[in-house]
């Protein structure tokens, strides 16, 4: 196998993230049929590692793999874990929880879309009141780090409320898993989820749900609302055969195994410290240039910065994006309907020097397009 030099791009978008060369090259393997025992044995270790990352007890928690992008997990959890005639409560302050509401709509599930402003954390007394008023709520769902803005939601408290009122708690941890430490026991999480291309720093195509085995087994009796995306069916097939029900993303799995090796080598604490360094460097850079952000500092999840477009008539996100992109740095538009924003994210195999290098290029771009710095806002 010849390894050529691959250009290193710094991805500041909210995933997929910058990967190491060793993870990139781990995809280049001899062809193998995934129904071979050799491949099955790889997946067993992989499934256990995915539980260990969130400190789940293997006696109580399992992981179930799917071939798809991260949204498949939201679809799977919501369509599979609601008993007949019961209701879903979505604690919603952003684009990704809205996605869960849309999943409810598409499956015709009875649900409450409990909306809060995108730049505020949910009011727990309203969550509790809703649970009290609706004893038929069987599943409470929210998003840990709302990637559209970068706000951190109080999952531990929401989970405690869900349990107090007899509901299970599913959390979209796609943009925190393997970055910001999570402990499923302490954080009151019954189900969480992620995909390989974000915190694990591998590739798209592999997504997974980590959750309570007893609840999955109970869900055998629940209505089957999807053929491909049913949690119990996928879990059961794995348990009986050690394989995914349908063809797995073979090469992505090899890359994920290498990424896991690198995850354990770096360590949970050191990795989170590195993401924090990157995040601080991003905020320092934005502050220095006078950019305002959507989320106040104490509510930020520490992984996504949402900067508000300045009111400078010369500001043109596309032009600034293209200038940076041509020089190896990818920045990303926001996901808020009310405010024009762009995002800089601290995911991936990058460190603070990469952010300093980025701001050199970013400043050049602002100068090139005659955008005044510090940037101006009308009010």
Q: What angle do CA 176, 255, 62 make, to 5 degrees?
A: 55
Residues 1-40 interacting with ligand PLP (rule: CB under 6 A): 14-15
Handedness of CA 358, 359, 360, 361 (dihedral sign): positive
Q: Which residues make Cβ contacts (< 8 Å) with residue 173, sequence separation at least 6?
A: 54, 144, 145, 182, 189, 192, 193, 194
- DSSP class of residue 342 equals E
| Contact residue for ligand PLP among 19, 27, 147, 293 (CB under 6 A) | 147
What is the number of other CB atoms lying within 10 angstroms of the CB of residue 206? 28
One residue of 70, 249, 334, 348 binding ligand PLP per CB under 6 A = 70
Q: What is the footprint of ligand PLP within residues 286-345 (CB under 6 A)?
A: none
Residue whose CB is less far from ligand PLP, 70 or 310: 70
Determine which residue in the list 18, 92, 143, 306 makes contact with ligand PLP, applying CB under 6 A: 143
Which listed residue (71, 153, 188, 234) binds ligand PLP by CB under 6 A? 71
Q: Nearest distance from residue 316's CB to ligand PLP, in Å?
A: 26
Write down the least CB distance from residue 255 to ligand PLP, Å: 16
> Is residue 172 a contact residue for ligand PLP (CB under 6 A)?
yes
Identify the sign of the CA torsion 280, 282, 287, 293: negative
Token code pair at residue 178? 């393997």
Among 96, 232, 323, 342, binds ligand PLP (CB under 6 A): 96
Helices and strands of the chain, counted as H and E runs: 12, 14
Out of 195, 234, 252, 283, the residue judged to bind ligand PLP by CB under 6 A: 195
Distance CA 105, CA 111 (A): 8
Query: Given the complex with ligand PLP, which of 69 and 213 has the nearer CB atom?
Result: 69
Question: By rule CB under 6 A, what string of x and - marks binding of each residue 264-293 to ligand PLP?
Answer: ------------------------------
The smaller minimum CB distance to ligand PLP, of residues 226 and 373, is found at 226
93 vs 365, beta carbon nearer ligand PLP: 93
**Is residue 372 exposed (0-12), middle (13-18) or buried (19+ Cβ within 10 Å)?**
middle
Closest CA to 277 of 350, 175, 360: 350
Interface residues with ligand PLP (CB under 6 A) are: 14-15, 69-71, 96, 143, 147, 172, 174-175, 195
């Amino acid at each position: 196998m010849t390894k050529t030099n691959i250009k290193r791009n710094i991805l500041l978008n909210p995933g997929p993230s910058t990967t190491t060369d060793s993870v990139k090259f781990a995809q280049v393997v001899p062809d193998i049929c995934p129904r071979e025992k050799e491949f099955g044995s790889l997946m067993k270790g992989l499934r256990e590692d995915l539980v260990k990352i969130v400190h789940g007890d293997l006696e109580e928690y399992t992981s179930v793999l799917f071939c798809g992008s991260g949204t498949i997990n939201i679809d799977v959890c919501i369509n599979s874990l609601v008993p007949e005639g019961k209701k879903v409560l979505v604690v919603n302050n952003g684009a990704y929880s809205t996605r869960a509401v849309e999943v409810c709509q598409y499956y015709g599930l009875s649900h409450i879309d409990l909306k809060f402003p995108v730049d505020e954390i949910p009011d727990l007394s309203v969550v509790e009141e809703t649970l009290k008023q609706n004893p038929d709520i069987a599943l409470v769902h929210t998003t840990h780090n709302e990637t559209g803005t970068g706000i951190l939601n109080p999952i531990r408290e929401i989970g405690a409320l869900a349990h107090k009122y007899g509901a299970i708690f599913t959390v979209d941890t796609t943009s925190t898993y393997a970055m910001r430490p999570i402990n499923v026991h302490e954080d009151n999480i019954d189900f969480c989820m992620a995909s390989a291309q974000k915190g694990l720093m591998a590739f798209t195509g592999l997504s997974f749900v980590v959750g309570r085995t007893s609840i999955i087994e109970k869900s055998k009796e629940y209505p089957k609302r999807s053929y491909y995306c049913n949690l119990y069916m996928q879990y059961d097939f794995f348990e009986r055969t050690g394989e995914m029900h349908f063809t797995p993303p073979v090469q992505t799995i090899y890359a994920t195994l290498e990424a896991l090796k690198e995850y354990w080598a770096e360590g949970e604490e050191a990795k989170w410290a590195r993401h924090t360094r990157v995040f601080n460097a991003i905020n320092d850079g934005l502050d220095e240039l006078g950019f305002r952000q959507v989320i106040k500092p104490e509510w930020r999840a520490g992984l996504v910065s949402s900067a508000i477009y300045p009111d400078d008539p010369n500001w043109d996100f596309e032009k600034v994006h293209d200038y940076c992109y041509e020089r190896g740095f990818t920045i990303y538009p926001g996901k808020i309907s009310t405010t024009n924003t762009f995002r800089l994210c601290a995911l991936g195999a990058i460190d603070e020097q990469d952010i300093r290098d980025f701001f050199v290029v970013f400043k050049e771009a602002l100068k090139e397009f005659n955008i005044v710095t510090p940037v101006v806002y009308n009010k």
